[in-house]
């Protein structure tokens, strides 16, 4: 009752515009959020955790039709954890390549994804990969293309460059990749993703579907078993890609993006992950 009295006293001093915004938020609470919690989830074992997310999603989508982004997810995760009785801190080092939050004694990497795909999750930027710069051959390619002379000479030099990529550069790149991924994975204990999908009707966004998905670390560790033979030929910008197989079936893809020097992980099957909770949130803007 005390909080109700404080609330009633506080609204007496609000402007008309503030009251209208408050009414919009209250209306979003009244509209409600459809919440489905995995009964086996340790993350959502305390209902306060999923309740906090549901309420925050309601407030958020009472003022915007834009999906939840990474930084918002970090703060939401922190305060949902606090509400459910866990100590939780956000890593304030913006250049950190490891955990985003520490919940109790667990170091957790948080990821967000807004792809339209229903059954897969994509980590657009798993890690920076500045080492790719050491394996680029765009300058050599340009030099060969600008050569004045017979085509045979160009062909010979192009052939030598391709051999260098295959026999020297690609194996070196893959070793750097594995070292980076190993270091990255050793920096945290769990990977929790928030997958968002807009739901439209007659061209208008009417709600958002959010899923809290845990990507097993041991699944991503399968990438450490890759060899240079598993990767596609190295491109001039240092980029390449490979499929990670589990029992002969593609589990996910690895992309070394030479244009922005990052590692992406694509096509992670959600069926092989843990869906902790799902939220259907009406947009009440």
| Domain that includes residue 49, residue range | 15-282
Contact 111, 242 (CB under 8 A): no
More confident residue, 139 or 59: 59
Contact 129, 160 (CB under 8 A): no
User: Does residue 30 register a pLDDT over 70?
Assistant: yes
Is the residue at 229 inside a domain?
A: yes
**Residue range 145-168, pLDDT digits in tens:** 676 766 777 777 777 777 788 888
Is the residue at 9 inside a domain?
A: no
Is the residue at 22 inside a domain?
A: yes
User: Does residue 245 register a pLDDT over 80?
Assistant: yes
> So what's the pLDDT on residue 149?
67
Nearest in space to 172 (alpha carbons), one of 202, 135, 146: 135
Pairing relation of β-strands 190-201 and 106-113?
parallel
Radius of gyration of the chain (CA): 24
Contacts for 88 with CB less than 8 Å, ≥ 6 apart: 77, 78, 79, 81, 82, 101, 102, 103, 104
Is the residue at 252 inside a domain?
A: yes
Residue 134 to residue 129: CA distance in whole angstroms: 10
Please tell me what DSSP assigns to residue 45. Answer: S
Q: For the chain, what is the domain count? A: 1
> So what's the pLDDT on residue 70?
92
Please tell me what DSSP assigns to residue 198. Answer: E
> So what's the pLDDT on residue 152?
73
> So what's the pLDDT on residue 5?
87
Contact 261, 132 (CB under 8 A): yes
Contacts for 225 with CB less than 8 Å, ≥ 6 apart: 244
Is the residue at 2 inside a domain?
A: no
Lowest mean pLDDT among 44-53, 152-161, 225-234: 152-161
**Quick one: pLDDT band at residue 178, thresholds 50, 70, 90?**
very high
Is the residue at 260 inside a domain?
A: yes
Element (H, E) at 78: helix 70-83
Mean pLDDT of 169-193: 96
Mean pLDDT of 65-86: 94
Q: What strands, in cross-sheet order, belong to the sheet with 249-257?
A: 120-128, 262-269, 249-257, 240-246
Average pLDDT along the chain: 91
Is the residue at 67 inside a domain?
A: yes
Q: DSSP letters of 252-283?
A: EEEEEETTTTEEEEEEEEGGGSEEEEEEEEE-
This prediction has a pTM of: 0.89
User: Does residue 95 register a pLDDT over 80?
Assistant: no
- Encoding tokens for residue 209? 């579907």
> So what's the pLDDT on residue 165?
81
Is the residue at 214 inside a domain?
A: yes
Mean pLDDT of 246-269: 96
Residue 122 to residue 215: CA distance in whole angstroms: 11
> So what's the pLDDT on residue 285?
67
**Residue range 107-134, pLDDT digits in tens:** 999 999 998 899 999 999 999 999 999 9
């Amino acid at each position: 009752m005390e909080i109700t009295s404080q609330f009633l006293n506080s609204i007496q001093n609000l402007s008309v515009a503030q009251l209208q915004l408050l009414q919009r938020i209250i209306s979003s609470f009244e509209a409600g959020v459809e919440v489905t919690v995995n009964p086996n989830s340790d993350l959502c074992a305390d209902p306060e955790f999923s309740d906090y997310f549901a309420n925050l999603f309601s407030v958020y989508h009472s003022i915007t039709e834009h999906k939840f982004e990474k930084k918002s997810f970090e703060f939401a995760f922190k305060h949902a954890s606090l509400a459910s009785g866990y100590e939780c801190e956000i890593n304030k080092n913006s250049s950190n390549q490891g955990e985003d939050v520490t919940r109790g004694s667990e170091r957790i990497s948080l990821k967000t994804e807004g792809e339209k795909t229903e059954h897969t999750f994509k980590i657009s930027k798993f890690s920076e990969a500045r080492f790719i710069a050491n394996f680029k051959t765009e300058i050599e390619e340009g030099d060969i293309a600008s050569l004045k002379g017979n085509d045979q000479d160009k062909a010979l030099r192009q052939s030598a460059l391709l051999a260098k990529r295959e026999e020297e550069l690609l194996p070196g790149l893959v070793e750097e990749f594995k070292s980076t991924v190993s270091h990255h994975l050793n920096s945290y204990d769990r990977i929790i993703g928030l997958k968002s999908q807009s739901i439209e009707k007659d061209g208008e966004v009417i709600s958002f579907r959010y899923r809290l998905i845990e990507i097993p670390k041991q699944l991503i560790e399968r990438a450490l078993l890759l060899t240079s033979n598993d990767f596609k030929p190295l491109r001039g910008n240092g980029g390449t890609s490979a499929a990670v197989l589990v029992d002969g079936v593609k589990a996910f893809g690895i992309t070394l993006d030479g244009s922005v020097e990052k590692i992406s992980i694509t096509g992670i099957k959600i069926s092989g992950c843990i869906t902790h909770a799902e939220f259907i949130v009406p947009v009440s803007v």
